[in-house]
Amino acid sequence: MDPCTLPVLGLCLIVLGWLYQRQIRTKDKQLYGRAIPGPTGWRSMKAFLSGAFNNNLHIFAWECARRYGDVVQVTLGSQATIFLNNPKTIRKLFSDNDIKRFSNDRPPSFIGKYIVYDTHNMAFTHRTSVQQQRRKVFHRVLKFYGENVCRIEGIIVKVLSKLTEHMKNKSEIELTDLVSDTVLEMIYILLAGDLTSKSQESMNVLRHFNRKWEQFFVFEIETVLQCFPFLRKVPGLPFKRKYETLLQARDDVMEHYFHDMKNTYSKDQERGIVDYLLTAQAELLESGDDFTITDDTIKASICETTAAAYVSSTSTVSTLFLILLQHPDIQEKMYTEIAGVVGAEETPQLLHRSQLPYVEATILETLRYTTVSPFLLPHYTRTDISFEGMHIPRNSVLVMNAWHCHRREDLWEDPWTFKPERFLNEKGELLASNHPVRMNLVAFGAGSRQCPGETFSKSRLFLIVATLLNNFEFFPLEGVPLPSEDPRDWPDGNVIKAPEPFRCGLRKRHYETKA
């Protein structure tokens, strides 16, 4: 064979491949629209991978957003990741009637398949009619229709008065631990009902599961196991140990919160959402409806509620207090408002919310300023989509870049300053929920996968913050430095961002006047 034949053949193949790709791109362009801009080349791919594995991909995505605009594509091999950098784009892509059925799936995930009961879950599966029906049921049980709204509020208030009682003799506290224990108790109540039946063991089981979940739900473990799921069984590799520990922690939770609850369930005495889901399951079965709720769906809801309701809420509350420690003026303004409406004799309740606009605005500003979950939860598209003249290729991961959306200078004046007033009008009233400023806040996602726990979560945040501030003044301890309040300074490493734990001082407000 002529020695030139092989190189020439190789070159021909490369050219043919390039022509073929170009033809596909031209065809796609005609069918769907132009390609999405974004970085190419090995340097960018290296930066992307390094960001992903070090859990600081938001920094890379932030730079890309400023350079390429509202929609940015990064393609690694055949996998496209599309960053959505504008709240309007996010809302349109996930809510628009013509597109929403194509843009609201979830990417395949190891944790969804192997930990959260595979196709039986709600948060990690594609948007199908079954998934939509599960969401409806979950929404209904979370709302606790009728008198149950008061019941859940009453129980939360009870947890908080126990907490204030515990704090009243203290002069300093470890705030992060305290908040996380309180949030945990509330999840217990949400799942299983009144705390009178609470056993320390059930609480520990929940705490352990959350810790293991946090350690497992990181990019590198998820990506490696998603590509090579068999590694979960290979002895000697850390994946096996981590997977088995999480699975065991999950099964312990199910023992306490599913099997024990099911064995003691009574339709006339529903205690929490597990009982409400058991009732919905029985009713659907009786009605002969095609849609049913399996035991695994209830178990998946327990996992989802526990994981979703714990980390982001704990981090949001403790970061809010970290900010208040460094802005005593804001703390004082909140206290004055709460004390004026609630007073020393009463405990804050949900009915006070509408009269406390500054407190509400501070909570919204915390969700914006801290953005503890920089990318929220990814969406996925199983088909090619034409969106605003652009081609979103099938099997793309769609990432809501909340980290950037919440700090855009064209949307937020002085974005790195904590300013609750931006959510108030000139009369000091809270902006309506459909006001353009509030629409730019996407902390709970958007469209048909928007967080179903949003209302519950905001009510709970309100009760925690209002109750603590009505009872105590929080201040920095002399000689004990606080972590920075600026989220850019917080450590990388977890999907949910948080500052290092911190201690602070506390003084009773008007506690003596209470019974």
Q: Which of 71, 111, 123, 464 binds ligand HEM (CB under 6 A)?
A: 123
What does the alpha-carbon distance between residue 378 and residue 390 come to, in Å, rounded to a whole number? 19
Contact between 185 and ligand HEM per CB under 6 A:
no
What's the min distance (Å) between Cβ of 376 and ligand HEM?
Answer: 4
Contact between 444 and ligand HEM per CB under 6 A:
yes
Contact between 463 and ligand HEM per CB under 6 A:
no
Cβ neighbours of residue 143 under 8 Å, at least 6 residues apart?
Answer: 149, 455
Contact stretch for ligand HEM (CB under 6 A) within 62-70, 217-225, 292-300, 371-379:
371-379
Q: Which of 86, 210, 305, 371 binds ligand HEM (CB under 6 A)?
A: 305
The enclosing H or E element of 397 equals: strand 396-400
Contact stretch for ligand HEM (CB under 6 A) within 17-25, 220-228, 312-320, 410-418:
312-320
Nearer to ligand HEM, 313 or 471 (CB): 313
Which residue shows structure tokens 């902390």? Answer: 443
What does the alpha-carbon distance between residue 170 and residue 168 come to, in Å, rounded to a whole number? 6
Contact between 95 and ligand HEM per CB under 6 A:
no
Q: Which of 36, 93, 115, 122 binds ligand HEM (CB under 6 A)?
A: 122
Residue 385's beta-bridge partner residues? Answer: 392
Q: Is 425 helix (H, G, I), strand (E, B) or coil?
A: coil
Q: Which of 203, 247, 308, 439 binds ligand HEM (CB under 6 A)?
A: 308
Nearer to ligand HEM, 39 or 306 (CB): 306
Contact between 178 and ligand HEM per CB under 6 A:
no
Contact predicate 276/261, CB 8 Å = no
Nearer to ligand HEM, 143 or 240 (CB): 143
Q: What is the DSSP string of 177-221?
A: HHHHHHHHHHHHHHHH--GGG--HHHHHHHHHHHHHHHHHSSHHH
Structure tokens at 309: 């309701």
Cα angle, residue 349 at apex, residues 344 and 350 outer, rounded to 5°: 150
Cβ neighbours of residue 192 under 8 Å, at least 6 residues apart?
Answer: 198, 202, 257, 261, 271, 272, 274
What's the min distance (Å) between Cβ of 215 and ligand HEM?
Answer: 20
What does the alpha-carbon distance between residue 447 and residue 36 come to, in Å, rounded to a whole number? 22
What's the min distance (Å) between Cβ of 286 and ligand HEM?
Answer: 26
Nearer to ligand HEM, 120 or 232 (CB): 120
Contact predicate 302/275, CB 8 Å = no
Contact between 398 and ligand HEM per CB under 6 A:
no
Q: What is the binding site for ligand HEM (CB under 6 A)?
A: 122-123, 135, 142, 304-305, 308-309, 312-313, 316, 376-377, 379, 443-446, 449-453, 456-457
